[in-house]
Amino acid sequence: MQQQYKILIFGGNGWIGGKIINLLKDNKEIEFECSQSRLENRSDIEKDIDKFQPTMIINCAGVTGRPNVDWCEDHKIETIRSNVIGTLNLVDIASQHKIHVTNFATGCIYQYDQQHPMGSGISFNEEDPYNYDGSFYSKTKAMVETLLKCYDNVLTLRLRMPISDHITNEPRNFISKIIKYQRVVNIPNSMSILYDLLPISIDMTLKGYKGIYNFVNPGVISHNEILNLYKNEIDQNFTYENFSEEEQSKILKAGRSNNQLDTKKLQLLYPNLDNIQVSIQKLFQRMKSFENVNNK
């Protein structure tokens, strides 16, 4: 008899949560339900868990800010309630019920430095101390990750600059964002191709993996490389300009993290995970097909 999994999802109305739901619909072994509770409401979380009796939880909820993380600079209390208090509420209650939690986090808690220079290939692993708090968003994420290390029921997946196959109606897609910028900073970064990684996140959940994982494709890719692919594959009339980090800082309320994350730990479990340079080529081929269909 096959094992039946019952997954309770928080943040199912969001971008990542919606994609997780679509993947779960294809798995007949999984029963799932989306909680409508706000994470800061502890009693509501308790009621949902008591009602559904999940065997595991996936948390996609959290504040990133609209249109970007600058929002968090002016809404610090709301950001704390969601990213710190809310996440801790959920994990703590789940711990009391002995339920595994997969928590989507961020890798934007590191910044290139003297020990990890840009272009050196020396990357930040899961044990490296955080060295970036240039935005309030990143600060709250580092805070809660530190506290979650005390719990033994958590799988923390650090996404970075997530990229999906669709730019139409997906404003959270990193590509959808940067094609709208007048100017971009050309810096190589670790990024997460959702087509590759979200199915892995479900597999890790079902297998009960715990601990922290840099949840990005191996390697790095620059803004210019992505925009050049966009121009070549999707819109040949597209143009863009570069500017420096110093110039960028003048138009932003908060800084932006730039880093390369080490993926050796993830690759031990999933050795066939594509390098970002390979994966982005495949993504643009899929995107090209979608855009051609949508434009007919």
CB distance 86 to 61 below 8 Å: yes
Rounded Cα distance, 97 and 46, in Å:
10
Rounded Cα distance, 270 and 265, in Å:
9
Number of Cβ within 10 Å of residue 46's Cβ equals 15
Domain extents in the chain: 5-163+191-219+257-278
Q: 3-state SS of the chain: helix, strand, coil percent to 5?
A: 40, 15, 45
pLDDT for res 293: 43
Whats the size of the chain, residue-wise? 296
Residue for token digits 């706000």?
38
Strand partners, 52: none
Please count the CA atoms within 13 angstroms of the CA of 67 that sit on its side-chain side: 10
Q: What is the DSSP secondary structure assignment for residue 261, as one 8-state letter?
A: B
Handedness of CA 38, 42, 46, 47 (dihedral sign): negative
Q: What is the DSSP secondary structure assignment for residue 160, as one 8-state letter?
A: -
CATH homologous superfamily for the domain 5-163+191-219+257-278: NAD(P)-binding Rossmann-like Domain (3.40.50.720)
Does the pTM exceed 0.85? yes
Contacts (Cβ under 8 Å, ≥6 apart) of 28 = none
Taking only the tens of pLDDT, the chain with its 296 residues reads: 356 899 999 998 889 999 999 999 988 889 999 998 988 899 999 999 999 999 999 999 877 766 667 788 888 898 899 889 999 999 999 999 999 999 999 999 999 999 999 999 999 999 999 999 878 889 999 999 999 999 999 999 999 999 999 988 888 899 998 998 888 889 999 999 999 999 999 999 999 999 999 999 999 999 999 999 999 999 999 999 987 766 665 555 555 779 999 999 999 999 999 999 999 999 999 998 876 545 44
Token pair listed for 96: 């009391």
pLDDT for res 129: 95
pLDDT for res 24: 94
